Structure 1
């Protein structure tokens, strides 16, 4: 019996579900774009497979049997769900959308300032951001891709490392001046420490590696690193900054690193995509674009000669060849 169920007659099942929903073979035939005779044959195949009669056939009409009515209630919804799922996949492909999960801080300080380059290179694509912070599980979601911090271990997924997480103390230039530029590590004892709620261990990690004693007291606690960095820029105190994310803030002078004691946390930023479904062309382009930003080899497409940075011109000419 188990062997039989591996070869379910899906076309007859769908024909039956539609005929049961419309209660006539003629309407089902019109819906499926086939003849009424073909509908009748499909349902006969299903009846022979199941060994039960699903419809009572009259001279000019058909009527569901009790078994057919009960069976139809169970499968009509299943085919409806299949059609919706298929429609979502096709719609996503038509829209050329990449559904990306990413941390809010990473969006604000790292991705947003660079995203226009992707749109310039691939004007037909778009990126839809999901900033939910929760354990990554691609099953049951519409996510195509995720930006994650970790050690590269996610279930049912592949990943590529973009850059290591390096942290250091950051603050506004004005705040540093108030403490004589924090010329000695002991100057930190008089400062206000700014903590991100879910990253509080990083202050201790930095202090241990830098051999610095932190001041007593809770400091100020924020719901996210995004808020803590904003408070540091506004001159409220010292925050632990993820240096690779804050390049633009540091290069512009809006934030400074008074101690210049970078510490690697042991974690890295990865781009992660599922293995439980196919990877769309826009998603492949986006993955390779992210890798190119970090001067890393492409995952899916070879960059043409003179296209080492996925330039706008070559992308528009589709000068990308499938990698072996």
Structure 2
């Protein structure tokens, strides 16, 4: 590495101290996070500012505030340091070649993936599948995952998309709600609370439009972050819910929820297995991919 290249790599300790101070806009709180004294944090940042020949904070008395240069620098280097941590953790851990880390949408993981992992274990006992919940898109490589479950369109940047299936959502409620309210036609639903999932707020309007109900009808109601939260609220009698059928099979089988109309709403988006293309070079991942695609094909 030549002198100019070395000049462009500030000390890692100074970068770590800077990012902590940038997050908190406080040298004392950064000191607590990093495990140094406040004066040590101040010295580290002074070293970095001297290295860059640029001030990164505006200082007024004892308070500090990121200036535009500092904000832009923090946003640029934070992902790089996160990637270094992940890469280091991988080397230290020396993971088993048969161990995979899969990120999944919480409700999908609980109601579709997890119940099927027993079959995977019986068929491929050598595989170890570690599952974590994620709701939004993220950098699969940076966070150390092999793949993720994505819902929507195949727009996740920089990864392969294997389609699994579309949702079929149905209208359900607790039997007790039917005993209290007369719900015989789609229009009757407008008199009860309509429970919705946060990412599918327009689903009720789509369902009512397909049912021939006035498009101007009010369809707003309580909103839940996850489908299973909405399902449990419906079980408790909080209202009617429009939910993916595969996610509420246990409630339908037990009678905790009942289907109100024989009119499903098919989702515009699909579930996808998404992964960096190089994962296919791992035999363990190739076997998992073939398994999950086969499971999705059988319903």
TM-score range, shorter chain: 0.5 to 0.7
1:185 matched to which residue of 2?
A: 186
Task: Please report how far the alpha carbon of residue 289 of structure 1 lies from its aligned counterpart in structure 2 after TM superposition.
Answer: 1.4
Quick check: 1:220 aligned with 2:214?
no
Task: Please report how far the alpha carbon of residue 243 of structure 1 lies from its aligned counterpart in structure 2 after TM superposition.
Answer: 2.1
Quick check: 1:115 aligned with 2:94?
no
1:244 matched to which residue of 2?
A: 246
Task: Please report how far the alpha carbon of residue 89 of structure 1 lies from its aligned counterpart in structure 2 after TM superposition.
Answer: 7.8
CA distance in 2, matches of 1:157, 1:171: 38
CA contact (8 A) 2:86 2:142 kept: no
2:260 matched to which residue of 1?
A: 258
With structure 1 as the length reference, what TM-score do the two structures score? 0.59
CA contact (8 A) 1:165 1:265 kept: yes
Task: Please report how far the alpha carbon of residue 184 of structure 1 lies from its aligned counterpart in structure 2 after TM superposition.
Answer: 1.3
1:201 matched to which residue of 2?
A: 202
CA distance in 2, matches of 1:147, 1:288: 15
After superposition, give the CA deviation of every residue in 1:88-130 in whole Å (9 maximum; x if it has no partner).
684242xx22111111111222222222111122222222122
2:232 matched to which residue of 1?
A: 230
CA distance in 2, matches of 1:87, 1:193: 50
CA RMSD of aligned residues (A): 2.9
CA distance in 2, matches of 1:254, 1:82: 44
Query: 1:259–1:147: structure 2 CA closer, same or farther, 3 Å change rule?
Result: same
After superposition, give the CA deviation of every residue in 1:218-247 in whole Å (9 maximum; x if it has no partner).
422223222111111222211110123334
CA distance in 2, matches of 1:157, 1:89: 25
Structure with higher Rg: it is 1
Q: Which runs of 5+ in 2 are unaligned?
A: 1-83
CA distance in 2, matches of 1:97, 1:247: 30
Map 1:10-25 onto structure 2 (within 5 A). Answer: none
Q: Which runs of 5+ in 1 are unaligned?
A: 1-79, 297-308, 310-324
Map 1:152-167 onto structure 2 (within 5 A). Answer: 152-167=154-169
Say which structure is richer in helix.
2
Q: Report the secondary structure of 2:297's partner residue.
A: coil
Q: Mean alpha-carbon deviation: is it higher for 253-262 or for 97-106?
A: 253-262
CA distance in 2, matches of 1:255, 1:186: 20
CA contact (8 A) 1:170 1:255 kept: yes
CA distance in 2, matches of 1:247, 1:162: 18
CA distance in 2, matches of 1:215, 1:255: 25
With structure 2 as the length reference, what TM-score do the two structures score? 0.63
CA distance in 1, matches of 2:271, 2:289: 13
CA contact (8 A) 2:280 2:286 kept: no
How many residues align? The count is: 216
CA distance in 1, matches of 2:85, 2:180: 63
2:134 matched to which residue of 1?
A: 132
CA distance in 1, matches of 2:227, 2:212: 23
Q: Report the secondary structure of 2:269's partner residue.
A: strand
CA contact (8 A) 1:172 1:234 kept: yes
Q: Mean alpha-carbon deviation: is it higher for 100-109 or for 166-175?
A: 166-175
Task: Please report how far the alpha carbon of residue 178 of structure 1 lies from its aligned counterpart in structure 2 after TM superposition.
Answer: 3.2
